[in-house]
Structure 1
């Protein structure tokens, strides 16, 4: 007689087969049979329960973004899915493989509008609007194939989030235990030699090429550095591309410095990047600029049409370009790049007190540590003022800029990288979005160092209302708890510091403790210099 298993057990076995070793989430009635299956596999899959569904989604995001592997979470349908929706749209915007596993109402009632517990008019359609792919398991026999299909779509081409739902009654249904298919990445598109030749022809006559990298190039750092050295061109990045070529590489240009080089750029080589920096933030194109793009997503070549579009994996496409260009060496320009970086740092040194505090964090954080930004004055400034030395070590929210993502995301980063230092930098406004997850850090011993810069305001809104709306403040002033006492009430070691020197010393102490730590840094309300002139610079005069 063949062995039986439930849909929930088959789904759990599929998670293990796909190398998923952690699931974040909150159990609930619709999910009990799946939750029980996770309990049965607890020697293979760690379950970390959170205090809010958004926290579960963001922790899965941090896990995925810092590793490139699938980060999984489970929540109840309806409000649970919707509460985690901000994390799904962050994962979609930042191309992170986050898997949401949820339930639905009883299968015979879906679409009936009877007002069942957690019912949505069309949950599957809702999830498909937030993810790269979403599917339903209607019967135990579909569990393996649907899980494999969703994983395949999440990991293939431009990566992104996926979702799987099963009706309440289906999770507990039994069927024969069978071999499960395992989804994997689809093969990368073959590099088109004609496109490579066309790109090489443009580059060969270029005097001042520039390479722009984004998150899609995370695994191509060595090839991109080699291309930059071959061309004696600078490499720059905005936020998702930080660390792919280390900040201290001789060809790396901080993006504030890169804007000065932009004046004379004649060929822009975008690799795994939407080119948001150049086209949405700098908003100024040098005369007769030629654009080459290497991107695995063919739709990118339609969204922003280049002169030459190479649809390929960043690593393979860059290597093919190197092979086509190998020839006469160019003059070394790294001293020029160093001067540009030095000048840029001199100019943005006025962004205080943020820069002094970010320098203190960088000095205290090991070279291979992770820095998780937040939508805050420190986070915005860090995008150009915080050096990063390897891919995935600067964790950002991409274009969604979701306020409140940072602390929760950092917990997922630490779970995925337990032996690395993880520092989360939040403002008081964003931190309070996920403050309840302090309980999760204690219960599961997730040893993140959380730094809260407390200016008693939504700082960006406050500045904009002051400057553009003549001080007509609405909803930008905040009343906060005593953050040190609050953390201590959760059983977390907490400190308050008032200077960069103190912050550096306290981070070093916190990392040596190897336990969850909160550090509050009071900042005078409205005192921060604006980082935006360096992110959205004024156009160059012709």
Structure 2
């Protein structure tokens, strides 16, 4: 074979990343991956390397990059404690169906499975990764790189997007061998929706008078198709976390979970699109009414979880198009309900204003954040309120931890969102507890010019835990009250502009100033716990008394 094709494992892996279109890698080098990072250095015109200050942040940044851009996010850490530090973000990526690629090392080949205690050795790292990813594999020889990496990218682009991890032993990264030519494979063909089931679903909709559509992150790329189907049926499109922005909240058919619940009692058919349908099976009471369920999802396993009336396995955009064509062919059309739905949404808007001060602060952010700007939530009272209290106008612009509810997710993920969208405004909201999980990466923002604006809502507590302890355990509170640093001095010590505001108007004007800086900024909002109103009545609603 031509000697020009001879490469180290590290060089071959970097060439594969370039051939598959990777332009950014979030990573921290270590002894097992030195050869990989040296190859990255020699190819820095093709792949930008961003180095955070914690291994968990590498994967969170890849997650934020992937969810906001729709492209694959890539990270690299050392094996053992490195990949385990990244595991919380990998779990979150699995939960929110994010296509992220993890590259890690392994002990030298001769030591794998020996239990001798080589540096960073895990009992079975590959099995551990397979338990929290869609797919994981080991590259045991440099010559395997093209084939295994092609397979990794095929997994990332086929079916339900979820994380994959590739590991390479220490010695394979540095070993040199002839490398076969790469043949990047296209994604495997997606499952085509069954035309008979499309017809059956359309027939169900012919008898429905009050259909409702529920969307999740699996419909983010299908916004136009979802809206067209909704307009044909005059069906409210209810979003829950991952589905925010698929139909804009200022469209008459764009409903939050709070406004959607007001239509639940009358709903006689539900179309779930790219969603786990958590509202249906967990959060909303059944109200004793039978509802036909049409479930559209790329993941066949989803059809075994809720057992829909009609299960349509396929890509959400294509399946919506075909269902719409069938609906139209049957002459199913509903007259406009714009006036009715707009009035209902206005009523909901007035009711959620009682969730003080969180709705008011979210309104201030919305007034300043451009329509196509990105909002990254976090596990805090304002974050929970944002599920229904923050208007979202475009797909992918509301980034969430989904059902994992990962404390500490928000700030590092928002760094990845901003890295992937440097010309867009990005705001991260976080509580004081969650922010301290990753505050060291303020310096990452400074070093790499990631001009993120972070808003820290500080109630000196793990607020939800404290409220539950008071409610459930006769007021006994333990481990949920926090002593915090001076966040402004902390930000300034990193070279980050720091501000403190205590009113929505103050947040509005300070956000404008922070965005104009075009530099990393932190805004602290102190909160009085005694004045906070819980958002949970809108997240776990109960029927109104008859």
TM-score, structure 2 as length reference: 0.98
Q: Does 1:44 align with 2:83?
A: no
Q: Distance in 1 between matches of 2:536 and 2:258?
A: 11
Q: State the partner residue of 2:135.
A: 133
SS class of match (1:24): strand
- Helix, strand or coil at the partner of 1:474: coil
Contact map agreement 1:377 1:460 (CA 8 A) in 2: yes
Cross-structure match for 2:3: 2
In 1, Cα distance between the equivalents of 2:333 and 2:437? 53
| Residue 379 (structure 2) aligned to one of 346, 359, 375 | 375
Displacement of 1:540: 5.6
CA-based RMSD of the aligned residues comes to 1.1
Partner of 2:525: 521
Structure 1 residue 283: Cα displacement:
3.5
Alpha-carbon distance between aligned partners in 1 of 2:179 and 2:152, rounded to the nearest angstrom = 20
Asked if the contact 1:463/1:526 (under 8 Å) is kept, the reply is no
What's 2:358 paired with? 354
**SS in structure 2 of the partner of residue 261 of structure 1:** coil
- Matched ranges for 1:142-153 at <5 A: 142-153=144-155
1:348, CA displacement in angstroms? 1.3
Aligned ranges for residues 80-99 of structure 1 at < 5 Å? 80-99=82-101
What residue ranges of structure 1 are gaps of 5+ in the alignment? none
2:214 is matched with 212
Instruction: Tell me by how many angstroms 1:329 deviates.
Output: 3.1
> Does residue 425 of structure 2 align to residue 421 of structure 1?
yes
Name the residue aligned to 2:536.
Answer: 532
Give the TM-score normalised by structure 1.
0.99
Residue 485 of structure 2 aligns to a residue whose secondary structure is coil
Shift of 1:336: 1.2
Secondary structure at the counterpart of residue 175 of structure 1: strand
Match of 2:253 in 1: 251
Shifted more, 187-196 versus 421-430: the winner is 187-196
2:3 partner SS: coil
Farther off after superposition, 525-534 or 156-165: 525-534
Partner in structure 2 of residue 410 of structure 1: 414
> Does 2:450 correspond to 1:446?
yes
Q: Where do 4+ consecutive residues of structure 1 move more than 6 Å?
A: none
- Number of equivalent positions: 542
In the other structure, the counterpart of 2:244 is 242
Post-superposition CA distance 1:462-483 (Å, at most 9, x none): 1111111121111000010000
Kept in 1, the 8 Å contact 2:206–2:332? The answer is: no
Q: Quote the residue 2:118 is aligned against.
A: 116
Q: Alpha-carbon deviation of 1:541?
A: 5.9
* Greater CA drift, 156-165 or 518-527: 518-527
* Partner residue, 1:480: 484
Structure 2 unaligned regions, length at least 5: none
Task: Return the alpha-carbon distance in structure 1 between the equivalents of residues 111 and 175 of structure 2.
Answer: 17
Distance in 1, Cα, partners of 2:338 & 2:260: 13
Q: Using the alignment, how far apart are the partners of 2:261 and 2:522 within structure 1? A: 36
Q: Secondary structure at the match of 2:498?
A: strand
Aligned to 2:393: 389
Q: Secondary structure at the match of 2:74?
A: strand
Matched, 1:160 2:170: no
Q: Find out whether 1:463 has 2:467 as its counterpart.
A: yes
Aligned partners of 2:256 and 2:387 also within 8 Å: no
Segment of structure 1 superposing worse, 255-264 or 404-413: 255-264
SS of corresponding position for 1:86: helix
